[in-house]
Amino acid sequence: MTAQNAQQPQSATNKDRVLIFDTTLRDGEQCPGASMTFEEKLEVADVLDTMGVDIIEAGFPIASQGDFESVQEIARRLKNASVAGLSRAALKDIDRCAEAVKPARKPRIHTFISTSPVHMKYKLMMEPEQVLEMIVSSVTRARNHVEDVEWSAEDGTRTEMDFLCRCVEAAIKAGASTINIPDTVGYTTPSEYEALFRTVRERVPNADKAIFSVHCHNDLGLAVANSLAGVRGGARQVECTINGIGERAGNAALEEIIMAMNTRADALPYETRINSKMLTRASKLVSAVTSFPVQYNKAIVGQNAFAHESGIHQDGMLKNAHTYEIMTPESVGVSKTSLVMGKHSGSHAFKEKLKELGYDLGQNALQDAFKRFKDLADRKKVVYDEDIEALVDDEIVNAHDRIKVASLTVIAGTKGPQSAALTLDIDGEQKTHQATGNGPVDAIFNAIGALIPHSAKLELYQVHAVTEGTDAQAEVSVRLSEDGRTVTGKGADPDTLVASARAYISGLNKLLAKRERGSAEDRATV
């Protein structure tokens, strides 16, 4: 399909193809505390590729050696999606980006520069004509490396229209095949954004030679609505993230974009190649690797998205599900079944259950997960799907950690001080320390601090039950900050104190990885 065809209005029976550009690994990771390890990025990239994402923005190669290596490895291994790297308009950025995406079957360089008056004056300290020159030189440089070049007008929705049209024209003339006009600060409204794309496409010569793209932030809660409005205005690429994670209030949520198009095909006559049945699995994976819980009432993938408590709603659902459900749970990968597994279940049944839940583990990972499942089944009366998901996700996240909890004994009660004897496996060597504290959790964290000296500050400690019942697994989330770096850690276990230790250690492992990788300076905010 040509770019020209992609922008012709179509009827509901002849749907336009919309490309899905996922930036979870780049813009999503820029969310404070949401950084991912090398292995976690590969896991997420594989799921996105399998799910049918068209373009995966794998990172910002110039930011750090770690970013470069992860983009390069993702470029090597992806089988279907285009792999994009982000770069500023600087020539060194572009060259570094080109090197990172070179192994990809379909490499893309995504270069950007600010175009709004406030950004040009205070951030770039450049005149408009200088910005135009940099657009031409950067896109030309990128085009000399790869055929597929995307150009973005950072803060495009606060850019003067005449100048925006000049910039877009220059980028297309220099060789950009995709033009992104992002709502970088989440400022625009749906009607404004739709009109912007219509105006630019009408006024810019050769606009039909490029695919236009939307990239919306959620500062006013309008990211998804604005994205869909941009598509109505002629854009045929949507830039989004799993769970809507991203800078500040986040980005447009991929799962909401997809299901809006699928559910309201009458009003939104567009199609994508996303397998919607993988949306829940992708959501859970990203939540696990970033340690960012999905809010219960989150559309599509939230825990309560298909829950009905009101008596009136329940009555309607029993009579006909369509009374209160506009989509089926199965359409987004949610199973209606909940408990079937127990201590007598075998490995074959466990493997089939994992497949049903969207996991495809290698033999070693499967054996490790099955052992943890049997241990859990011995401790719990009933093992729910959510329990299995929690233990598998926990294993995926922590499989490559340098530090692991080996054993923990806690003495607690009304007579303090409480104490904790903790053994950690640190790079293959076990070390033990006993500490006291103002409560058992404080004692555990003091023991960790003695074994792994650090200056990290605990900013958040949160506990919630994975399932119902007194024997439910506890899932603990912590947020740690150190030297301007913020990370989140997550741990799950039927014992809340063990889960707390695992969560804190998870956070420390991420801090260590960040130290080794170095600070990612000059993060982009397209």
As given in the structure block, the two tokens for residue 192 are: 């404004």
Average confidence (pLDDT) over 371-386: 78
Q: Mean per-residue pLDDT for 351-368?
A: 81
- Predicted local confidence at residue 319, as pLDDT: 63
pLDDT value, residue 519: 46
Which residues are CB-neighbours of 348 under 8 A, at least 6 positions away?
A: none
pLDDT band with cut points at 50, 70 and 90 for residue 382: low
| Degrees, nearest 5: CA angle 335-336-339 | 95
Can you say how many angstroms the Cα of residue 15 is from the centroid of all Cα atoms in its chain?
28
Residue 407 and residue 409: Cα distance in Å, rounded? 7
* C-beta of residue 157 within 8 angstroms of C-beta of residue 181: yes
Say if CB 123 and CB 89 are below 8 A apart. Answer: no
Say which amino acid occupies 19: L
Distances (CA, A) of 27 to 19, 59, 184, 427: 18, 8, 11, 31
Cβ-based neighbours of 426, under 8 Å, separated by 6 or more: 402, 403, 451, 452
User: What are the pLDDT digits (tens) for 393-449?
Assistant: 777 766 678 899 999 999 999 887 899 999 999 988 999 999 999 999 999 999 999
pLDDT above 70 as % of the chain: 89
Identify the three-state secondary structure at position 212: strand
Mean pLDDT on 184-189: 98
Same fold, 17-290 and 401-517: no
Task: Report the pLDDT averaged over residues 100-119.
Answer: 98
Can you tell me the distance from the alpha carbon of 319 to that of 313, in angstroms, rounded to the nearest whole number? 10
- Decide: 46 and 77 in contact? Cβ < 8 Å: yes
What is the average pLDDT across 14-43? 88
The answer to whether residues 517 and 65 touch, using CB atoms and an 8 Å cutoff, is yes
Instruction: Compute the average pLDDT of residues 198-212.
Output: 97
Locate tokens 């790297």: which residue?
85
Query: What's residue 494's pLDDT?
Result: 87
Contact 141, 91 (CB under 8 A): yes
Mean pLDDT of 180-195: 98
Contacts of 510 (CB under 8 A, 6+ apart): 35, 37, 487, 488, 489
> Is 338 exposed, middle or buried (CB count within 10 Å of its CB: 0-12, 13-18, 19+)?
exposed
Question: How far apart are the C-alpha atoms of 433 and 268, rounded to whole Å?
Answer: 60
Coil, helix or strand at residue 377: helix
Cis bond upstream, residue 190 (ω within 30): no
Under DSSP, is residue 509 helix (H, G, I), strand (E, B) or coil?
helix
The answer on pLDDT for 11 being more than 60 is no
493, 474 Cβ separation under 8 angstroms = yes
Rounded Cα gap, residues 72 and 62, in angstroms: 12
17-290: in CATH 3.40.1030.10: no
Q: In the numeric block, which tokens belong to residue 9?
A: 């209005």
Assess contact for 304 and 77: CB atoms under 8 A: no
Q: What does each C-alpha distance from 59 to 70, 79, 185, 516 come to in angstroms?
A: 8, 18, 20, 17
pLDDT of residue 440: 94
C-alpha Rg value of the chain to the nearest Å: 24
H/E element, 282: helix 279-290
> In the predicted model, is pLDDT for residue 66 greater than 50?
yes
pLDDT at 328: 85
Model confidence pTM above 0.85: no
pLDDT at 9: 40
Residue-wise pLDDT tens digits, 456-502: 999 999 998 877 777 778 889 899 998 888 888 888 888 999 999 99
Q: Domain limits of the chain?
A: 17-290, 304-335, 337-399, 401-517
Q: What is the pLDDT of residue 445?
A: 96
Contact in structure between 70 and 85 (CB atoms under 8 Å): no
DSSP string, 461-489: EEEEESSSSTTPPEEEEEEEEETTEEEEE
* Dihedral of alpha carbons 326, 328, 329, 330, sign: negative
Q: Which CATH superfamily is domain 401-517 in?
A: Alpha-isopropylmalate synthase LeuA, regulatory domain (3.30.160.270)
Q: Please answer whether residues 224 and 260 qualify as being in contact, where contact means their C-beta atoms are separated by less than 8 angstroms.
A: yes
Per-residue pLDDT, 79 = 93
